[in-house]
Each structure stands twice: as C-alpha cells, then as structure tokens.
Amino acid sequence: MLDRLLITGAAGGLGQMAREKLRPLAKTLRLSDIADMEPAKQGEEVVPCDLADAAAVRDLVAGCDGIIHFGGVSVEKPFGPILEANIIGVYNLYEAARAAGQPRIVFASSNHTIGYYTQDTYLTNDVPLRPDGLYGVSKCFGEAMASMYHDKFGQETAIVRIGSCFPEPKNHRMLSTWLSAGDFVSLINSIFAVPRLGCPIIWGVSDNDTKWWDNSAVAYLGWRPTDNSEVYRAKIDAAMAPPGRDAPDAVYQGGLFTAEPIHEE
C-alpha cells in the first residue's frame, strides 16, 4: 500500500472516478486541481494548485510516494493554456518529483499522440508519433519528458495512452478506443504493484473486439483488461448513424480531433 498518492486533475472526469475507486491503493489520497473539488473526506487531503506554478507544484508533490497525473488541458485548445498546463505543468511535475525522491508516476497520455494513423492500421507501442493537434503534441512532450527523466535519473513512469475513458463508448469510433473505468483501475493497480516498472508506453484500451492497439510489449505488467465495448454496439447503432466512409471519425484513429483547426488565443 502507498502512503500518500497524489492525483492531479482530481476535479475532472477521470480524477473523480479515481478518487472514488482508488481509495484502497494508499493510506492518504492527496487530491489536487485548479478547479473546485469536493471537501476532503477521511483519508483525503485536498490541495488546490495551478500546475504552472513551480513552487506550488514542488510543495504539492513533497511527501507523496505515487502520482497519477491527470491534470491539464484534455482537448484541443489555443496554445496558451496548453503551454501553461501541459508543457510547463509537466516540467514542473517532473522537477518536483525529482526533488521528492522520484515517486512512481502514471502519466495520462492520449491516443491523440498517434491520431493521424488510419483506423485500418494496428499499432504496437513503438510506432513513430503522429499527433493530430496541439493537444496531441503536448502529450508527445509529456511522453518525451517521462522518457528523458527515466534515462537520466531512473524516474519510473507508466505512460498510458488512453483511448476514450468514459462510462460507456459515445459513438462508433469509441467502440475501438473505449477504456472502461474498471479496466483503468486494474491497470493502475498493476502499475503500482509491479516490482520494476521502467517507462513503458501502455495502450489504455479495454478488450474491445475492434481495438487498434497491441499491448503485447507490456505483458510483464500482468494487466488483463476484461471489458469489451461490443456490449454497447446495438445501443450506439440505435442512437446514431455510423460516420460516412470518408469522415474523419471513420478514417483516423484520432477521429474528429484531426479536423480541429489551430485555435487562436
């Protein structure tokens, strides 16, 4: 059991899910966000923090022996907020972790690091990056930071390229990219349990029939996703027509993110 697990982005969708489901993983959960959070319950600490504030991030990370880094901009946005949260914020986090004895980190990366691969390609975890926007580029930066801090200092990070982690898949593309909360929780438990983690790239995807990603290189983690989006197919078919054959959501793994412009400030 960890002593104190830091969850950044605790006010967000995945942060709230983790707050509820990862309680048994640590004696204390330290929950942080720039947005409002529910008050601390027993075994919790609520610590507001802007990831762009280096001194505040250093204090935030001190005393933690594990970090789940969900905080940051999670969709395509102008470069300013992405720079603050996902570039400067990630640098601040890694420097704070270095000062705090290198707690193991789960870095929430994204399928948008490889979004321009087409849906007819099956990807191992060592393919060249093909980000589909500034958000995807910022996640490539985070992955590169994890790799460099591992090579230079031995910092361990699980780079989880999350597909689509929501209670249910929301459209036809997500039948391929869906990661269930249960599978994500079991992945995080495996990441903190494995004796030697290193700095693997892990596809964050459930055992969907139509998945595009091959996790065989990280079999040593012992993680076996058990959910399958197929159970939602009929519901999605009934709710919406599938995208046209040439629509971005049907062509590219990153779906509609590939059609986003560069947003102005």
Residues 6+ apart with CB under 8 A from 180: 165, 206, 225, 227
Task: Say which entry of ligand 15L, ligand NAI, none residue 228 contacts (CB below 5 to 8 A, set by partner kind).
Answer: none
**Per CB under 6 A, does 164 bind ligand 15L?**
yes
By CB under 6 A, which span of 55-63, 83-91, 108-116, 229-237 interacts with ligand 15L? 108-116
Q: Which of 7, 9, 229, 249 binds ligand NAI (CB under 6 A)?
A: 9
Q: Which of 74, 92, 176, 206 binds ligand 15L (CB under 6 A)?
A: 74
Respond yes or no: is residue 135 known to be catalytic.
yes
C-beta of 188 vs 196, nearer to ligand NAI: 188
What is the identity of the amino acid at 62?
A: A
**Per CB under 6 A, does 8 bind ligand 15L?**
no
Structural tokens at position 4: 């104190």
Residues 6+ apart with CB under 8 A from 100: 58, 61, 62, 63, 64
**CA dist., res. 95 & res. 51, Å (int):** 12
**How far are the Cα atoms of 10, 16, 43, 190 from residue 166, in angstroms, in the given order?**
15, 12, 26, 20
- Sign of CA pseudo-dihedral 183, 113, 78, 58: positive
User: Closest separation between CB of residue 253 and ligand 15L, Å?
Assistant: 9
Q: Which of 5, 7, 51, 64 binds ligand NAI (CB under 6 A)?
A: 51
Q: Which residues bind ligand 15L (CB under 6 A)?
A: 74-75, 110-112, 164, 174, 177
